[in-house]
Chains A and B, each alone.
Chain A
């Protein structure tokens, strides 16, 4: 069965610093996809970035990049030059051949001015 683990319940980071949010996953499939979502205090879920298991390069979207280490089964989200608006809950998610998309428990990120 697939599983997503986010070990950091909460993080405090100074504004303008880079942030790494940890995510490890477990699956027996060779083909899978990894996602990151942001949930601000308003409650909506915002898609940030996607990485396919066969993608050779790490995914990047603006200030977001996904540090994909396949052998270690990790898919950490890196936010460069953090901003106050980055304060939110962040979820790592995964899909594989059985079509389910499973989420981790999330990391609450606080950006300090």
Chain B
């Protein structure tokens, strides 16, 4: 049981480049989301999805796109990377957004540096 798998673990991009952070879960979870973690800022929600075909914006969506064509996958696309997007990115999933004991299962994170 792999849980939530994020790839890559580390990435260096040049300003203006695009890339996709991959996230896959094998737990048949309906709810998936992307966060970025910056020092002193905690985790900030970028985008989330309550099921296949449904996505919505979080707190800091600008510069990022998502899609949810299957229950298992929730990729995050950086359209034109900027140094301000240097961060650690976490993907997380849950059976539902919130309910008794339904904590998130997090991926191991992707450390992205934009130069």
> How close is A3's CB to chain B, nearest CB, in angstroms?
10
B106 near A100 (CB under 8 angstroms)? no
Closest to B108 in A: A44
> How close is B78's CB to chain A, nearest CB, in angstroms?
21
A43 near B98 (CB under 8 angstroms)? no
B97 near A100 (CB under 8 angstroms)? yes
For chain A, the bracket of interface size reads: 20 to 34
| B99 is an interface residue with CB less than 8 A from chain A | yes
User: What separation, in Å, do the CA atoms of A32 and B100 have in the docked complex?
Assistant: 10
> How close is B112's CB to chain A, nearest CB, in angstroms?
14
B31 near A99 (CB under 8 angstroms)? yes
Among B87-106, those with CB < 8 Å from A are 88, 90, 92, 94, 97-106
A contact face: mostly helix, strand, loop, or mixed = strand
Among A62-113, those with CB < 8 Å from B are 91, 93, 95-96, 99-106
A105 near B48 (CB under 8 angstroms)? no
| Number of residue pairs spanning A and B whose beta carbons lie under 8 angstroms apart | 66
The number of residues on chain B lying at the interface, defined by a beta carbon within 8 Å of a beta carbon of chain A, is 30
- What residues on B are CB-neighbors of A44 within 8 Å? 106, 108-109
A101 near B98 (CB under 8 angstroms)? yes
Closest to A32 in B: B98
Contact partner of A99 (CB less than 8 A), chosen from B41, B90, B97, is B97
B106 near A45 (CB under 8 angstroms)? yes
- What residues on B are CB-neighbors of A9 within 8 Å? 40
User: What separation, in Å, do the CA atoms of A103 and B43 have in the docked complex?
Assistant: 6
Given A43-B88, A99-B50, A101-B104: A33 touches B42 (CB 8 Å cut-off): no
Can you name 6 extra interface pairs (CB under 8 A) apart from A37-B103, A45-B104, A103-B45? A9-B40, A99-B50, A99-B97, A101-B98, A105-B42, A106-B42
| Closest 9 pairs between A and B when the two form their complex, measured CB to CB | A47-B103, A95-B98, A33-B98, A105-B42, A45-B106, A99-B97, A103-B43, A103-B42, A106-B42
Q: Which residues of A contact B (CB under 8 A)?
A: 6, 9, 32-33, 35, 37, 43-45, 47-48, 50, 52, 91, 93, 95-96, 99-106
